């Protein structure tokens, strides 16, 4: 078990995966900054942690705002001491699923501003400070299985999460060379009960309405039932051929322990479900067959 001290910061911690991770980190004696764009949600989770005997403060933050992230880094250190664990978890998705050519520019920008730039802003605000410290330190960035498996109809989301994946693994290699005891992991959530499918609530009304009034991907596939199963599965990166099995969907409360175990083991990849070996093997074989002859 690694020894973390001071503060832990979790974005998107007002519900779902982030909430579960915040609770898990609090059990290790860390002062947790429960960060969320919705203040009431952050306050509720902070109160839950306090009621369980932990230490936490709510912090309303929009991860698209670098200055706000830097201010949160200041607050975390002032309240609980230097940050030793950072979890860039805040993320959004689009509903209904749609083809890349039916995804408008505002949708692409919104997706990347939160899913990608939110991670970059967290990295910029916290990692230089964490590097100045010592002892065990760790970053977790939430990606998605949509980053590594074909996910037709959700290309903008897949792209934003693939950026998080590639970035985090490169960062891990950098940290291994530059700092002892400083690790980084990519979290790949599977089918998990969260509020991510209601992400549109975070957008201006007109923008949200424009995004939902789009030709759905199911119009191209003709499989409306399966599309509905996937789109209402409240998950990051659910695959169509898996969505029809409700037994695979787990409650978000289980994720915190999984992530904490992954952090303790300094795993490069943290999965909430067994990997889709067939999809991984298919991609491996396609890559190997593309070798120049």
What are the pLDDT tens digits along the chain (293 aa)?
899 999 999 999 999 999 999 999 999 999 999 999 999 999 999 999 999 999 999 999 999 999 999 999 999 999 999 999 999 999 999 999 999 999 999 999 999 999 999 999 999 999 999 999 999 999 999 999 888 887 899 999 999 999 999 999 999 999 999 999 999 999 999 888 888 878 888 888 888 888 889 999 999 988 766 555 555 554 444 444 344 454 588 889 999 999 999 999 999 999 998 888 888 898 889 989 997 86
Q: Is residue 206 part of a domain?
A: yes
In a domain, 123, yes or no: yes
Distance CA 275, CA 68 (A): 36
Query: Could you tell me if 82 and 91 are in contact, meaning their C-beta atoms sit under 8 angstroms apart?
Result: no
Beta bridge partners of 250: 192
Q: Using an 8 Å Cβ cutoff, are 13 and 34 in contact?
A: yes
Range of the structural domain that residue 249 is part of: 7-288
Residues annotated as catalytic are: 157
Question: How far, in Å, CA of 83 to CA of 74, rounded?
Answer: 10
Domain-embedded: residue 1 = no
Note whether residue 2 is domain-resident.
no
CATH code for the domain of 210: 3.40.50.720
Whether 34 is in a domain gets the answer: yes
Q: How many domains is the chain partitioned into structurally?
A: 1
The pTM is what?
Answer: 0.91
Cα within 13 Å of Cα(157), Cβ side: 26
Residue 234, in any domain of the structure: yes
């Amino acid at each position: 078990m690694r020894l973390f001290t001071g503060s832990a910061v979790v974005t998107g911690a007002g519900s779902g995966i982030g909430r579960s991770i915040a609770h898990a980190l609090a059990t290790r004696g860390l002062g947790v900054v429960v960060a969320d764009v919705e203040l009431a949600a952050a306050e509720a989770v902070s109160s839950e942690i306090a009621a369980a005997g932990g230490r936490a403060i709510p912090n309303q933050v929009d991860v698209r705002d670098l200055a706000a992230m830097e201010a949160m880094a200041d607050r975390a250190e002032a309240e609980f001491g230097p940050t030793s664990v950072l979890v860039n978890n805040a993320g959004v998705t689009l509903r209904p699923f749609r083809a890349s050519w039916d995804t408008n520019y505002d949708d692409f920008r919104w997706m990347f501003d939160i899913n990608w730039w939110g991670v970059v802003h967290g990295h910029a605000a916290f990692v230089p400070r964490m590097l100045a410290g010592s002892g065990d330190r760790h970053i977790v960035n939430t990606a998605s299985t949509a980053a590594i498996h074909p996910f037709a109809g959700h290309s903008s989301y897949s792209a934003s999460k693939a950026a998080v994946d590639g970035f985090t693994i490169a960062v891990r290699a950098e940290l291994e060379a530059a700092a002892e005891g400083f690790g980084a992991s990519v979290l790949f959530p599977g089918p998990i009960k969260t509020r991510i499918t209601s992400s549109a609530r975070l957008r201006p009304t007109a923008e949200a309405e424009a995004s939902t009034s789009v030709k759905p991907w199911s119009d191209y596939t003709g499989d409306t039932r399966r599309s509905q199963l996937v789109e209402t599965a409240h998950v990051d990166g659910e695959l169509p051929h898996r969505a029809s099995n409700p037994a695979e969907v787990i409650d978000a409360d289980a994720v915190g322990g999984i992530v904490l175990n992954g952090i303790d083991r300094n795993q490069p990849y943290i999965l909430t479900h067994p990997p889709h070996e067939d999809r991984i093997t298919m991609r491996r074989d396609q890559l190997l067959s593309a070798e120049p002859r």
